Chains A and B, each alone.
Chain A
């Protein structure tokens, strides 16, 4: 069973440009979450999608956006890149994240991440 696939793995952009990152979840997983992680920092939640709907959004500016397609694949976009956007962007998938449920279905699995460097 294939894991979560993220592309591209590494990229370098200049300030002011925009970037689109792609994520293919594990087959059968309908929930996709995105995280930002900077060196020495914890996981910062960006947003979560389920069945093409954004269910949760973290505290990031509007320059960060995402979407999910009918096949559960997801993309995130960062516009007007800033130096501080340099980070590891992680995508994670799960069957679902149920409200208040005790369920293995809530378990999320991460892709290898996309390393973004803004110069």
Chain B
């Protein structure tokens, strides 16, 4: 069964520090990887996607993909209290369906 694993947290990070969120997946054939942010009571919103090994940067966010080790991570630099949310990892395997992790709750402490 195809799975995506995330630490549920909560992960507590001081304001201004780097938050590191990790996600592992089981399907080696997966090609597209996504990070979404979900505030309490709101719908998930896309942060970024990645499909090549290595790093992809967008502002304060960096996604890292390592297909050999089957993990994808999200780094948030200069963390702000507004970054406090649940972060969802999603993986696109080979059958049209996205597989979702359960999410990591991130708390940024002022």
Contacts and interface: CB of A to CB of B under 8 A. Distances in A.
Contacts of A113: 43
A111 B43 contact: yes
Contacts of B42: 112
B96 A99 contact: yes
Contacts of B51: 102-103
B92 A42 contact: no
Contact of B88 (A42, A99, A109): A42
Interface string A87-98: 010100000011
Given A106-B92, A107-B46, A109-B46, A45 B97 contact: yes
Given A56-B97, A88-B43, A101-B32, 11 more contacts: A42-B88, A43-B88, A55-B96, A97-B98, A100-B92, A102-B31, A103-B31, A103-B51, A108-B98, A110-B36, A110-B44
20 contacts: A42-B88, A42-B103, A43-B88, A45-B98, A48-B96, A90-B44, A100-B31, A100-B92, A100-B93, A102-B52, A103-B31, A103-B51, A106-B49, A106-B98, A107-B34, A107-B49, A108-B90, A108-B98, A109-B46, A112-B42
Interface of B: 29, 31-32, 34, 36, 42-46, 49, 51-52, 88, 90, 92-98, 100-103
